[in-house]
Every structure is written in C-alpha cells, then in structure tokens.
Structure 1
Amino acid sequence: MISYSDGKEDLENWIVSELGFHPDTLGKSEAIMCLGNGYMGLRSATEEPYMKETRNLFVNGTFNKAQVNEVTELPNLADVTKIDIRIDGERFSLEFGEKKDYIRQINLKTAELTRIFEWTSPKGKKLSFEFKRFVSLHNLHLIGMKMTVKSLSDPVQISFDSGINAQMSNSGAQHFLEGDRRIVDKKIIQLVQTTNESKVDVVINTTHKIMINGEEIVKDPEMNMARRKVWLTYDFSLQPNDILEMEKLTTVYTSRDKEYKNSDYQIHTLQESSLKDLQDCLEKGYDLLFQSSKKEWKNKVWNAYNFEIKSEDSFDQIALRFSLYHLTIMTPAHDERMGIAAKALSGEGYKGHSFWDTELFILPFFIFSNPEVAKSLLTYRYHGLEGARKKAVENGYLGAMFPWEAAWPTDGEVTPKLGDIDIITGEQTKIWSGFIEQHISADITFAVYQYYSVTGDIEFMDDYGYEIIFDTASFWASRLEWNDEKQEFHINNVIGPDEYKEHVNDNAFTNYMAYFNMKLAIRYYEKLKKENSVVLKNLTEQLNLDESYKLWQLKAEKTFLPMPREKDLVIPQDDTYLQLKEIDISKYKNQEKVRTIYRDFNPAQINTFQVTKQADTLLLFYLLQQTFLQDDNRISETVKQANFNYYEPKTLHDSSLSLATHSILANDIGDMDLAYSLFKKSCEVDLGQMMNTSDDGIHAAAIGGIWKGAVFGFAGIRLRDGLLSIRPKLPKHWHHMKFTIHWRAQPVTFFLTSSTLSVKVENKGKVAFEMYGKTYECNDFIEIKLDSME
C-alpha cells in the first residue's frame, strides 16, 4: 500500500511511503522511489535480494548496441546496492521470520530513501534494521548508502557481502566487456566496464566504513573476486543493544563525461580521478555528503520553483512535489548532448530512448521554470540534426526528419522494428512508429517556437533554432503528396498521436502541424531578411533557403487541412475515422490496467473502430492556440468544445501522455469537475495505489503532465502568440496556489485564490500579461480581483 500522509510538521506532504513488504510487487516502489540527479539514475531495489526485483543503474548518454541485430539502449551498469546479509550464518530475507512496522519511503524534500523495520529471525532473535540511500545533487557522481542494525534480544553473528557486481544485464542482454578489477588498501574497490560496441568506459569505485556503538572498526575484510564481480565480506558479533553501522560510498564516472569530450582521454586518468573523488568523499562521510545534497535540493529546486498548493485533498500537493522531484532527477541538465528517456532513468522500458514526450509534455515545465535546462534539451535536438537528415535521405525526403526514438544525437532512428505478439495471428507485430509516425519533426519545431516566445533567447535562435525550423519545414515540403484531381497537397500513410490508427491518410494533427511548421519557417525567413541578414545569409548558403522559401509558400497554402464538418464542427481525425464502426468501449474506458483492448482485438481490428488511444485531434487546440494561428476559425473555442465532446468519450487514455491534455482542455471549456478528475488520474499513473503500473519505470511524460495540468490548466498560464495569457480556474477545493515561472528572463511569482490573482516580478523588470481580454503591466507587484472577470 502506498501512503501519502506519513510526513509530519515540516515534512507534511513531502513523504511517499510503502507500508508493508510485498515480494510480488517490488517494481512499483523501486521505480517511483528511484534516486537520481540527471547524470545517473538508481532504481530503488532493496539491499537484500528477491526473486522479482529489478536492479538498475543508468548513466545518461552511455548508449550501446548489445548485438548487431538489436537497437542501441542505455546499458544497465554494475550494481552497488545489493548487500547479502547473513544472521547466524543464515541468509537474511523478509520472506522468512517475522517482520514488524515495515516502511519504505522517499523524502521528496531531501531526496533520501529510507527503509525501517523490526525482524525476528526463524531462531527467535530480534533485530532492528534501518537503510538509507541518496544520489547526490551536489556531486553528480556520488551514491551514498547507510545500514544500521541493532540486536534487540540476543547475541547474534552478522556478516555481509558488499561490493560491485557487473554480472548485470538489460533483460538478458549483456553490454559490457569483462573489465579490470582491483582492491586498494583492502578497503576501496574499483571496477572498470567498457561497452562492447560504443566503447564507453565506466569506472565505479566503492568503499565501506564500519562502526559498532559509534566507534570505527578497523578490521581487514575477506576479499573476493569472481567473473565481472568483486566484493568484501565483513563478519561481526553483536551483543544485545549493540548497534552496527555501515556506510557505503560509491562514485561513478564514464568516458562520456563532458570533461573528456575534447581532451586526450586516457582510461587511467579516469580511474585515478574517480578514485580521488571517492577518497575525498570518504573523509566527509555519509552525513556531511547528504547534507550537501540536501542543500542543493533546497536552493536549486524547492526555493527556485516555489510551488505550493493549499488543497482540501493533501494528495494534490504531494503529487506536484512528486512531479518536480522526478523532473529534476530525470533531466541531464549537465550535458546538452543528452535527452530525457520516456521512462526517465528509473527502468529499462523503451531502452532509454527519447520521444516527442520531451518536447510536448516535459519541456514546457523547463521553458517556464528553468530556461537554461530547456535550452540544453533543445540543443540536444540540434545535435540530432545529423541523424534527422540521414533519416530523411534514407526515406527519400529532404531536410530533417527527426527519429521517432532518439538516443545518442548522431544515432538517428533507433526505434525497434518488432514489438508485441498479435493475439489473433500469434505473429510478432511490426512497430510502424519508426517509419511513419512523423509528426515529431513538427513537435520539435513547436517546442523551439514556444521556447523562443517565452524566453526571447535570440542567441539560441541564431545558433540553433532557425536551422531546426527551416530544415524541418523543408522535410514537410518534400513529404507532401500532390493530388492532381483535388489540386492540393496531402500527407498519406502516417500514424498520428493516436497509435491505434496506423497507415492513415490526412491525420489532422500531422497535417496541421506540418502546415504550422512551414508557416513558421516563412515568418522567420522574412523576419531574418529584415532584421539579421548575416544569419540568413549563412543559413541560406547551408540550406538553400531562397528556393526552400518559395516551396514553403507554395505548398503551405495548398496543404489539405481537415475542416470542421458542418453538422457538428468535428474535425475528422483522419480521412476515414468518422466512417469507422462505433463500438461500446465502456469496458475499456473503465479499465484498471491500460491496453486491455488488446486482449480482445488485434491492431488490424482496432484500426477499424472509432476508438482513440490518446489525445490526437484535441492536441491541436492546445498547441495551435498558443501560436500565430490562434485566431483561425478552424481551431476556435466553439470548435474546440465540439471536438472535445466528440473525441474524449472515444479516448481510452491508453497512453500516459493523454490525461493531462484532456484535463487542460476540460478546464478551458469550463468542465471543472472533469478537469480535476482527469488531473487526479494523471497524478495516479505512477503515484496511485495500483501496484503494477510502474514496473518498467515511471512515466516521464505523465509526470511532466502533472505540472502542466496545474499551471496551464488550473492557473490558466498560457503562451498566446508571444504574449503571456492567464485564465485561472482553480478547483473548488483548492484554497490557493503559488508558483514561480520565468518570462523573458524575469522570475515572476503568482499567488492565486478563487477570488484574487497576485503577481510579483522578482527582479522588478516590466512584465505584461493579458487576462480575459484586458492587458496588465507590472514591474513590482499587482493584485487583481477575479470576481466577474470572465
């Protein structure tokens, strides 16, 4: 059972707990309580091993292809968390003996994992255990662990094995060559791993400090080595009330680290520098190191984002903190060559690959809250232009065709070719997304537009942004197919966001976003022609922009855009959707587990039904109403409501990306009860009571969606063609909401109640915003009454 109410006083609504030990549902807490700092992610498996555990340690950017017939993935590094404990010579396990008061919890405020319980051995001896663990936000290479064992009743012999175990794999796939191992001064262990294809070196160092009753024990351990494994064995006798403490500190370094990017890299340099770091950490010890990390969390995260909700349901506040915690630990803020994985760094799901999840569901948080990190994530996409251009050429197109799944920037398309079993035919299904789900190129363009509009970062645009927009526009111009009979361009044989509909023509989302991409390129070309001829000249020489500009003009105006049909204003999701068979989907709409429709139908059958996996056509309104197309009658408020009423009942939300968008749109059209219900469900994707939702890792996009649902939905913060717009509609049981965003390099703090909006410009620079048709300017503080404003 997951509990949200164990934090007291200054920790109220900061603690997520697992009450009771359940060996068959370990994955939930391993994932949602994972630790990390953007450089690395550590899944929170227990110290003692269990059959259904998953031990994962990932370092961002270390992609490798295990075999020639597999796609590249983030390799699972050697494990440092497992401790084989023996009590009186017998293996310690919570599946034996009796346990009492078991609790495992993550403190979101300090980013420390703890596990506490009492245990009675099969021989009747009572002991108490406490385990602590953190991954430092101060030193990105550091993992800290601490184990405390107290004998409560009898003399007891305790021994344990602890070290580095490189016998790990990614679901059976081994990514590393056998590496060097050594033990320094009978105390420090060092193990080297090198990926077998990408040749990334990994150096892991670990050491232990043992104390009994507060006094350090200097005792030579037994030293052991085996294939891909090295460990130390410690053995102690405890009398009643004796307390054994063991601190274990680990450093992790790789040859992908940025400091080795442009240097004459040598493996021995990595070994010695990483070892020196561990030795320095050993002098400080767990507690001081943890305090340094805790301070970073306070200053860089909680004080910076300043997010607070006063709700009658305390779950809402802890859900927002859970979102901010995971957004911090999943994001490689340290290196612009790396993106965010769909499962973050919490599990092997989706192989560590980046999707459109980043640009549309995660990046908005950073654009509005931490623009420097947003810039880094968009620069990652710029570095991926080489792979995007390669994919375009391979598919017979021009420009940049971004991969559906991305890994190392230059890798290009890394989507696996085969997926699940077809329940009807028994054959393995083909994953078509890597071939024909192409809207990601326009999604990335939208993200660049959103970033520039919110930040005004012209340097980024000159160096990176314009090139991305122009080259994706050229892709779309080459992708369009001319219909001579209708005298217009179409986009055939694609997958839109609704992945239940494969090989469709004129997916509305894809067509409109391609249109937006080309129109944006036209606007920026004309802008540069007037304002920055030097940048335009350089890009023209590289991308043949003069010819491309003519093509964008010609093709954008003749691109087919599905119109709202006259009888009900519904925009067809694609050219056949509205003619498909309607079925009763209540069984799947009320499902406790996603994708249950696949138990009854295969993909070919689902393709013939009016059933939608996730927000598709509806996503258009959320995106395009932020742009210069906001006044287009085809995406008006009236049309938005009509389409919401039509498509939401047909949408199963079988993707974790879907709920937040629907919540925001429900809020827009005034259905506050539905908006909050969908917001709550999006929070529960990972944080809820279902114990099998997160086994493969957390859902990064859904976690980003929690912040979006609160800020873009209930607070009504929205970009509207370069302007900051506010349409607040708080849930009835939210008494107030407070948060800080950045607008044009100005931190701005908002405080919302049901009746007032307070705006404070932290640096006292002028900020203008629009609310319900009225424009306000503020360079210090303003309070606005909300009553009767709509």
Structure 2
Amino acid sequence: MMDYSLGKGNLENWVVSETEFSADKLGKVESIMYLGNGYMGLRSATEEPYLNEVRNLFVNGTFNKFDEKEVTELPNMADVTRIDIRVDGERFSLELGETRGYVRQLNLKSAELTRTFEWVSPKGKELHFHIKRFVSLDNLHLIGIQMEVENGQHPVEISFNTGINAQMNNNGSQHFHEGDRRIFDKRFVQLVQTTTESKIDVAINTVHKFTKNGKEVKTEPVMQMDRRKVGLKYTISLQPNDNLTMEKLTNVYTSRDKEFDKPNYHLEQLREHSLQDLRKMSESGYNLLIEVHHDAWQQKVWNKYNLEINSEDSFDLLALRFALYHLTVMTPAHDERMGIGAKALSGEGYKGHSFWDTEVFILPFFTFTNPEVAKSLLKYRYYGLVGARKKAEENGYEGAMYPWEAAWPTDGEVTPVWGAVDIITGKQTKIWSGFIEQHITSDIVHAVYQYFTMTGDQKFMDECGYEMVFDTAKFWASRLEWNEEKQEYHINNVVGPDEYKEHVNNNAFTNYMAHFNLKLAISYYEILSKQTPSWFAELNKKLSLEESYQHWLYKAEKLYLPEPREEDIVIPQDDTYLQLKEIDLTNYKNQDKVGTLFNDYNLEQVNKIQVSKQADINILFFMMGHAFSQEVIRANFNYYESKTLHDSSLSLSTHAILANDLGEEQLAYSLFKKASEIDLGSSMLSSDEGIHAASIGGIWQATVFGFAGVRLIDGKLRINPRLPKHWNDMKLTIHWKGQPVSLFITQATLSVKAENQKKIEFEVFGKSYECKDHIVIPIEVARECKEGAL
C-alpha cells in the first residue's frame, strides 16, 4: 500500500512510502524506488529474498548479445544487495513470524532508501530493523547499505550471509563468463567477469563492517565461494537491548568506463584500481559517504533546477519532485556515448534500449534547464550516425535512418522482431516498429533544432548538428515515393506514433516531421553556404550537399502534407483512418489497466478500427503547433482525444499540454494527474518491469510546457501561463541563450528575471516583451488582449 503523506517538516512532499509489505506485489516498489546516478541503476529489491523478487543492477552502456538470434541488451550485473539473515538458526523473512510498523521509503530529497519494521520470529524473538541504502551521486561507482538491528528482551545469535552473487540473468539469458573470484584479508570481496559477446570487463568489490553498541566487532567470517558467487558469513551474538550495525559498501567498475576504455587498457588495472578505491571508501564509512551524496543531490539537482509549485493538493508537488529525481537517476550525464532506456535503469523492460522517448519527452527537460546534459544526449545520437547510415543502406536508402531502438551507438537497429501472443492465432506477433516506424529520424533532428535555438551552441552544430540534419534529410529525400496520379511525393507503409495503426500511408505526423527535416536542412544549407563558405566546403566534400540540396528543394515542395477536411477541419491521421469502422470505446476509455482492447481484438482487427493507442496528430500540434490555427487544433484535439485510449504512457502528458493550451483547464489537470499516477498511482502492478521514463519526462513537460506555458514556438520563447485553479504559484529556472532565466508565476502575474542581466526577448499571449533585468506582467490583461485580438 502506497502512502505519500509521511514526510513531515522539511521532508513534507519529499517522501514516497510503502506501508504494507506483500511478497506478491514487489515489482512496483522495486521499480519506482530504484536508486541510481546515470552510471548505474539499482532496483530496490529487499535485502532478504522472496520468490517473486526481481534483482537488477545495470551499468549504462555495457550492452551484450546473449545469442546471435537475440538482440543486444543491458546485462543484469551480479547482485550485491541480497543478505541472507538467520536468527537463532531460523531464516529471517517477513513471510514468517509477525511484522509490525512496516515502512519502506524513498526520500527524494536525499536519494536514500530506508526500511523500518519490528519483526517477531516464530520462536518469539523480537528485533527492530532499520535499513538504509544509497547509490552515490558523488562517486558514481559506489553503493552503500547500512542495516541496524536492535535486539529485544532475549539473547539471540544472528548470522549474515552476504557478498556478490553473479548467478543472475536477464529473463534466462546469461551475459557473462563465470569470471574470477577473490577474498582479500578475509574482508574485501572481489568478482571480475567479462560479457560473452561485447567483451566488457566488470569488476565488483564489496566490504563489510560491524559495530555493536558503538564498538567495532572483530569477528572472523566464514569465507564462501561457489559457482558465480563469492561472499562471507558473519555470526554475532546479541544480548537483550544490544544494537548491531552492519555496513556494506560496494563499488562497480567496467572497461567501458572512459578512464579504462583506452588502447593501452589491461584488466589488471581495472582490478587494482577498483579494489583500492573500495579500500579508501571503507575508511570513510557509510555515514560520511552518504553526507557527501546528500550534498551532491542538493547542489547538482535541487538547487540547480529550482522548480517549485504551491498547490492545494500536495500530491502535485510530490509528483513533480518524483519526476526530477528520476530524470536525474536515469540520465548518463557522465558519458555522451550513452542514451536513456525506455525503462531507464529500473528494470529489464525494453532491454535498456533508447527510443524516440528520449528526444521528444525527456531531452527537452535538459535542453531547457541543463543544456550541457542535453548536448551529451544529442552527441549520443551523433555517434549513432554510424548505425543510422548502416540501417539506411540495408534498407536501400541514402543518408542516415535512425534505429527505432538503439543501444551502443554503433550497433544500429536492435528492435526485437517478435513480441507478444496473438489472441486469435496463438502465434507470436511480429514487431514492425524496427522496420517501418521511421519518424524517429526527424524527431532527433527536431531535438537538434530545439537545442541549437535555445542555446545558440554553434560549436555543437559545427561538430555534430549540421551533419545530423543534412544526412537525415538525405534519407528522407531517398525515402519519398512519387505518386504519378497526384503528382506528389508520399511516405507509404509506415507506423506513426499511434502503434495501433500499422502499414499505413501518409501518416500525418511522419509526413510533417519529414517535411520539417527537409526544410531545416535547406535553411541550414543556405545559411552555411553564405556565412561560412569554408566550413560549408568541408561538409559539402564529406556529404555531397550541393547535389542533395536540389533534391531537398524539389521534394519538400512536392511532399504531400495532409490538410483538414472541409466538413469538420479534422486532419486525417493517415490515408485510411477516417474511413475505418467506429465502435463504442467507453469501456476501454474507462479501463483500470492499459491494453484491455486486446482482450477482445487482435492487432490486425484493431488496425481496422478508429482507435488510437496514443497521441499522434496531437503530438504533431505539440511539436509544430505554430503551423496550425487554434481552430484546427481544437477540432482535431476533440476528435482524436475521444478515440485515444492512452495505452502508452507517452500519451497523457501531450494531451494535458494541448488541453491547457485550449483553455480546457479541468481536463488538462485531470490528464496531468493521470500521467503522474502511471507510476505513483495506487495500483501495485503498474510498474513491475520498470518505471515509465517517457511519462516521467511528461510530468515535467505538462508542468512547464503546459501550465507554465513555456515553449519554443517558431524559434521564439513564448510564455503563456495558465496554472490550475488550485495552484497558487509556481517558480522555475530555464536557460535561454546561455543565460539562466527565473520565472515566478501566480494566478495574476508573470515575473521574469534575467539572472545575468543580458537582454531576453519573449512573447506572452501574442505580445512581445524584452527584459534586461526584471519585469512583472499581469497575466489576465495579456490573455484578454490575445483573446480580444482573436
């Protein structure tokens, strides 16, 4: 059972709590309370084992392919969190004996996981447990666990069987050779393994320390070593009211780390460096290490983003902080060779692969608030041009065609071919996304455009961005298909964002985004050829731009862009959507869990019904709304919202933003709340395979792009605030052209402050403003002027 009200005082709206343990419902809390730092992610399984647990430790970028017939995935590292405990010989488990006062909490502010409870053994021995855990944001390689056990009124003997367990897998796939195990000084435990295909070395070290009643216990452990497993067993006697504290510090290093991924690398360097690092950390101890970790979170996250809302519903602020927490722990800010998985680093779902989720739902957070991290994520896609060019060539196209699912940048397409069962035929369903869901190519280019416009980072464009834009435009020019009858170019046989419609022609989102990609390439070509001819000559030599430019001009002009139909100004999602059969969707719209449509239909049947999995036309309006009138956006929003089941976690936040744009404030907040509850809701089965990373980004987007109205529109900064009625005020900091800009929004006013006192220009409800220092704008007056003009 989840409870979000337990944070008190300075921790109010900072704490996510579970107040009732269930061995049958472990997955949600393991996922939403996972710990990480972008380098690694540790699923929050309990120390003691249970049948339905999932123990995951992932290190970003360590992709491996188990078998030639499978796709590459992030391998599940050895487990360092399991501790088998016995009390007077009895196995400790919350399924045995009696448990009182159980609370497991994630403190978002400090990024520390705690578990507190009293346990009475079947023999009547009473023990009070307080267990803490963190993954350091200061030292990216460090994991810390501290377990305090306070004894009751009877003498007990308690034992801890603990170490490193590499008997792990990814749903049956084993990614590591057995490796070497070693125990140094009967204290420091080390395991070294190598992935089977990618040949990445991993070194994991762990050390323990015990104190009883404040004094260190020098007990002799029993050393244990088994296949893929190494550890120690400690046995300690406790008298009534004794207090025992166990600390377990662990570090993880890999040969993919930048400091080791060099031509002169040797495994012995990794072994020795990692071991010496742990020896040094063990001298500091858990309490000092976590203080430094707490400070890193305060300085790098909470002070930096400065995002607060004053809402009459405290859940809103908690949800926003939850989003900021997860956006931090999922993102490999330390290494531009790595992306963000669809389940972040919280579970095995989607194998750690990156989708369009990053560019459309997650990266904008960093573009607007932490541009250096945004640049790192875009460089990951730049390095991925190798795989994108490979995919284009394999499919008979030119230029760069980005993979639908990406892993290591040079891997190319890694989308699995086969998926879930077809309820009609009983066969596996083919996954077409890797073949024909192609809009990701222009989604990435849109992210490049957004970053460059927001930051003015010319160096990035010269080194990476222009090449990405030009080579993707070459792909689209080769991808377009000429329709002789209509004398125009089409894009046939695709899947758009709405994955309930496969093998469609002229998906509106895909066509418009491809057109955007071509027009952007044309614009950049013309700017570069005139303003920096020497650099243009270099790119031209590498990419044959002069020839491509003529194709872009002609094909962009001739590319079919679906227009609103006359009777209701609804834009067809694709060539056939508006002619498909309509059914009563009421039950599916009101479903308690996603995907209930497939209890009654298979995908082939769904393909013939006017029903959408997620936002499609509406995400086009979100990304390119300046190209359409408010009247057209409203008509299409109303039409497609009624047919969208939001069976994808990506969908709700987009609809929330558009609803707010249209003045549908109650609906906007309702959709925002539903988006926030995808992971934080009361259902204990919502997040078993991992958190919904895109939805996490969507919470921030609905808050900032939606309610605060902060958007990049046609190259300009626009701020059209429309706070929910029960939000008293909101503050945030964004970055525009290299300058922090602080915003404070109330129901009545918008306050804008240029922190570096450099002039900033922006629009509020259609009126232009500029500010070098500080300006306060009455919101209602600005909104009424806009509505009056309309």
Fold match (TM-score > 0.5): yes
Unaligned 5+ segments in structure 2 are: 784-790
Deviations 1:318-377 (A, max 9, x none): 000000000000000000000000000000000000000000000000000100000000
**Equivalence for 2:321:** 321
**Equivalence for 2:453:** 453
Aligned length: 783
Asked whether 1:47 is paired with 2:40, we answer no
**Equivalence for 2:11:** 11
In 1: Cα distance, 2:563 partner to 2:717 partner: 29
Give 1:68 deviation, angstroms.
1.1
2:717 to 720, 724, 730: 724
Asked whether 1:666 is paired with 2:649, we answer no
Asked whether 1:388 is paired with 2:388, we answer yes
Aligned residue type for 2:723: L
In 1: Cα distance, 2:245 partner to 2:508 partner: 61
Give 1:648 deviation, angstroms.
0.3
Aligned residue type for 2:183: I
In 2: Cα distance, 1:539 partner to 1:2 partner: 55
In 2: Cα distance, 1:496 partner to 1:722 partner: 25
Asked whether 1:278 is paired with 2:287, we answer no
**Equivalence for 2:255:** 255
Aligned residue type for 2:705: F
SS in 2 for 1:258: coil
CA contact (8 A) 1:152 1:240 kept: yes
In 1: Cα distance, 2:153 partner to 2:428 partner: 57
In 2: Cα distance, 1:69 partner to 1:745 partner: 47
Give 1:261 deviation, angstroms.
2.7
CA contact (8 A) 1:177 1:196 kept: yes
**Equivalence for 2:443:** 443
Give 1:106 deviation, angstroms.
0.2
Aligned residue type for 2:452: Y
1:642 to 635, 643, 646: 635
**Equivalence for 1:710:** 703
Give 1:642 deviation, angstroms.
0.5
In 1: Cα distance, 2:776 partner to 2:486 partner: 55
Aligned residue type for 1:46: T
SS in 1 for 2:548: helix
Give 1:99 deviation, angstroms.
0.4
Residues 470-619 of structure 1 aligned to structure 2 (within 5 Å): 470-619=470-619
2:686 to 690, 693, 714: 693
**Equivalence for 1:220:** 220
Asked whether 1:416 is paired with 2:409, we answer no
SS in 2 for 1:396: coil
CA contact (8 A) 1:342 1:701 kept: yes
The worse-fitting range, judged by mean Cα deviation, of 365-374 and 719-728 is 719-728
CA contact (8 A) 2:36 2:136 kept: yes
In 1: Cα distance, 2:534 partner to 2:352 partner: 39
Question: Structure 1-normalised TM-score?
Answer: 0.99
The worse-fitting range, judged by mean Cα deviation, of 112-121 and 755-764 is 755-764
In 1: Cα distance, 2:479 partner to 2:779 partner: 47
2:648 to 655, 660, 663: 655
**Equivalence for 2:397:** 397
CA contact (8 A) 1:118 1:129 kept: yes
The worse-fitting range, judged by mean Cα deviation, of 587-596 and 349-358 is 587-596
In 2: Cα distance, 1:604 partner to 1:69 partner: 26
1:760 to 749, 753, 758: 753
**Equivalence for 2:771:** 778
In 1: Cα distance, 2:187 partner to 2:771 partner: 60
Aligned residue type for 2:669: Y
Aligned residue type for 2:46: T
Residues 199-214 of structure 1 aligned to structure 2 (within 5 Å): 199-214=199-214
Give 1:535 deviation, angstroms.
2.1
Aligned residue type for 1:435: F
**Equivalence for 2:787:** none
Give 1:759 deviation, angstroms.
1.2
SS in 1 for 2:251: strand
Give 1:534 deviation, angstroms.
2.1
Aligned residue type for 1:467: E
SS in 1 for 2:144: strand
CA contact (8 A) 2:767 2:782 kept: no
The worse-fitting range, judged by mean Cα deviation, of 35-44 and 768-777 is 768-777
Aligned residue type for 2:672: F
**Equivalence for 1:77:** 77
In 1: Cα distance, 2:763 partner to 2:171 partner: 52
CA contact (8 A) 1:162 1:231 kept: yes
SS in 1 for 2:731: strand
**Equivalence for 2:732:** 739
Instruction: Give me the CA root mean square deviation.
Output: 0.7
**Equivalence for 1:679:** 672
**Equivalence for 2:788:** none
Give 1:263 deviation, angstroms.
4.2
Deviations 1:2-39 (A, max 9, x none): 11111111111000000110111100000000000000
Give 1:781 deviation, angstroms.
1.5
In 2: Cα distance, 1:137 partner to 1:475 partner: 40
Deviations 1:734-756 (A, max 9, x none): 00101111111111111100001
In 2: Cα distance, 1:126 partner to 1:782 partner: 62
Asked whether 1:134 is paired with 2:127, we answer no
Aligned residue type for 1:689: S
In 2: Cα distance, 1:58 partner to 1:121 partner: 34
Deviations 1:670-716 (A, max 9, x none): 10000000000000010111111110000000000000000000000
In 1: Cα distance, 2:754 partner to 2:241 partner: 56
In 2: Cα distance, 1:277 partner to 1:763 partner: 40
In 1: Cα distance, 2:262 partner to 2:630 partner: 52
Give 1:260 deviation, angstroms.
1.9
**Equivalence for 1:94:** 94
**Equivalence for 2:178:** 178
In 2: Cα distance, 1:415 partner to 1:54 partner: 23
In 2: Cα distance, 1:239 partner to 1:138 partner: 38
In 2: Cα distance, 1:351 partner to 1:149 partner: 37
In 2: Cα distance, 1:780 partner to 1:106 partner: 39
CA contact (8 A) 1:127 1:153 kept: no
CA contact (8 A) 1:45 1:53 kept: yes
Aligned residue type for 1:465: G
**Equivalence for 2:332:** 332
**Equivalence for 2:786:** none
Aligned residue type for 2:719: I
Give 1:139 deviation, angstroms.
0.1
Give 1:306 deviation, angstroms.
0.4
In 2: Cα distance, 1:564 partner to 1:458 partner: 38
Give 1:784 deviation, angstroms.
1.4
Aligned residue type for 2:658: L
SS in 2 for 1:537: helix
In 1: Cα distance, 2:217 partner to 2:671 partner: 55
**Equivalence for 1:366:** 366
In 1: Cα distance, 2:767 partner to 2:510 partner: 34
SS in 1 for 2:782: coil
SS in 1 for 2:259: helix
**Equivalence for 1:466:** 466
Aligned residue type for 1:597: L
Give 1:788 deviation, angstroms.
2.6
1:769 to 752, 762, 770: 762
SS in 2 for 1:605: helix
In 1: Cα distance, 2:535 partner to 2:669 partner: 46
Deviations 1:18-65 (A, max 9, x none): 011011110000000000000000000000000010000000000000
CA contact (8 A) 1:453 1:721 kept: no
Residues 348-359 of structure 1 aligned to structure 2 (within 5 Å): 348-359=348-359
SS in 1 for 2:642: helix
Deviations 1:271-322 (A, max 9, x none): 1011111011001000000000100000000000001110000000000000
Give 1:435 deviation, angstroms.
0.2
In 1: Cα distance, 2:511 partner to 2:767 partner: 33
Deviations 1:528-572 (A, max 9, x none): 112111221111111110010000000010011111001111000
